[in-house]
Structure 1
């Protein structure tokens, strides 16, 4: 199966030289994010991996430096289930880094049981979407600074979305916290909703509300990594206890791509010249160079507007009225 998949999506291509460029990868020390981090490091970029578990960071740095002696790579700890911690960690990163060329939002949880994060928000929505929305906001002044540097390719923001976004319930409006915390949504619906939100953010919100008004030459895209054999596939057992969950976990592991294959779409979206040459702003890709056909919800500009309004209001409510950095600020 794996060899067949390699023939379908093609062999990995070596990245071009990324010397002098800086990448931040959430979830960068584990799973798909780690594969992205190691490829960036091998291409000579400075890489900052952000994860919750320190032992993952230590192991990731060790492996990358064994493969690429002299790699400029570091790990930063952050719980992407706490908006206040996100504010502290990524504000510090913004002040510490001189530039930011590549922002890859890869951290997340799979289909799992309903629970609340540290902010009292459905943890799927918090970890997979809202905290990443806030990460982009906090780092955007640095991205704007980088975009204005001479002889610099436009920075790119890449979101790990999913074809599962098609399973988002039809009655989603992104209208309130009560809706987000509705326990009647099934485990798959909770996950699918977050991937839908990421596509809307990349396709409509950032280009139309941030890049265009500011005149910023920055690209945002979202990608589907495929069904990938990471530890996340074991979460099906938590979402659906019993025989069904075990069967789902086994099935996904059996048909899934390996982790390296799962990184291809994001790596392509982050580095391919085609993004700029063809002006593929806001696109959703299901494989390297292959645009996907989003669901009708993912093409709904009014739904994107509601998502933007809810996201900004939740962050202000949970962190403070001054929590969000002005989108036209520059570092």
Structure 2
């Protein structure tokens, strides 16, 4: 419905211009919202690196973009965000091989679905939607810092695709332990909501408060709500709630949802709007282009944000070793 009535009820269309010379990386960049972000960046002249699990998605995305702009600078890399060792391998190579990184859009994810564990034995929603992206940020931070110090260069931006569904996170979230995360009795919607809460907290109280401000980094970390969007992810409602309930939820989401291009507008605005830097809107959450979101009380809790950061750090060290994290003060 929103996809049909977009010109009447929004969201406001976001046009991206003149990104020549800049480099963008988009997780989930070959499909759905991520693809539309990748497409907009590439058509505006940026060099774009898309990261997904399935090679055929990457090939198809590149072909679609090049059909609109034959000389588009776009490439694809494989990575399973639910495999921390693979995240380290893929993104450390990107850090070492690239000269700069201006825009990092964290869009890969699992929608509401049944409980399961990823390759590291962690709730797969948390592992893919948050922890993998936390580790991506860590692996790429020296490159972002390097870019931020380049002359005549806008501040790099990191954008998390969060959601208004963060309000449905379990009321007893503490981010205290792996045992808390790995609870198969938690409803699929709450599992998903907990990860979107983590993204808002991770931008505001993690990257901004734990890294950017202490380091004096000229980098912006933001989170956005794309809206309910008609992508393949909506089919996961059928997996989360088998039977008629899941079918009805999928149908309802597809009926009211935005199309993927409309779903990309919040991230595109946050990644390129000059007022982010002009008004120093670091750590902010937006639920539409230019529209500040109203976080839940959990998403406004600095103690919960600190607990999330500490748990994320502990989990990565437990799974990959004490030296798994790159020094947040390092520069490529």
Same fold (TM over 0.5): yes
Aligned residue in 1 for 2:274: 273
Residue number in structure 1 paired with 2:199: 198
The unaligned stretches of length 5 or more in structure 2 are none
Residue 6 of structure 1: CA displacement? 3.0
TM-score by length of 1: 0.99
* Offset at residue 96 of structure 1 (A): 1.1
Q: TM-score, normalised by structure 2?
A: 0.99
Residue 144 of structure 2 aligns to a residue in which SS? helix
CA contact (8 A) 1:161 1:223 kept: yes
Q: What is the alpha-carbon root mean square deviation over aligned residues? A: 0.8
| 1:95 Cα deviation after fit | 0.8
- Report what 2:19 is aligned to: 18
Aligned equivalent of 2:105 = 104
- For the 8 Å contact 1:9–1:288, the answer to whether it is kept is no
**How far apart, CA to CA, are the structure 1 residues paired with 2:276 and 2:23?**
18
Q: Give unmatched runs, 5+ long, in structure 1.
A: none
What residue is the counterpart of 1:138 in the other structure? 139
| 1:73-96 residue CA offsets vs partner (Å, 9 max, x unmatched) | 000000111000000000001111
Contact between 1:15 and 1:39, CA under 8 Å: does it hold in 2?
yes
Structure 1 runs (4+) deviating above 6 angstroms are none
In structure 2, the partner of 1:45 is 46
The answer to whether the aligner puts 1:289 opposite 2:290 as a matched pair is: yes
1:184 corresponds to 2:185: yes
The residue correspondences of 1:6-155 to structure 2 (distance < 5 A) are 6-155=7-156
Contact 1:9 1:287 (8 Å CA) reproduced: no
SS at match of 2:26: strand
Aligned 8 A contact 2:11 2:262 in 1: no
Q: Quote the Cα distance in structure 1 between the aligned partners of 2:129 and 2:96.
A: 24
| SS of structure 1 residue aligned to 2:94 | helix
Report the alpha carbon displacement of residue 13 of structure 1 after superposing the two structures with TM.
Answer: 3.5
SS at match of 1:66: helix
Determine if contact 2:14/2:268 at 8 Å carries over to the other structure: no
State whether structure 2 residue 235 is matched by structure 1 residue 234: yes
1:285–1:316 CA distance, 2 compared to 1 (3 A): same
The 8 Å contact of residues 49 and 74 in structure 1, kept in 2 or not, is answered as yes
3-state secondary structure, aligned to 1:34 = helix
Q: Number of residues paired by the alignment?
A: 331
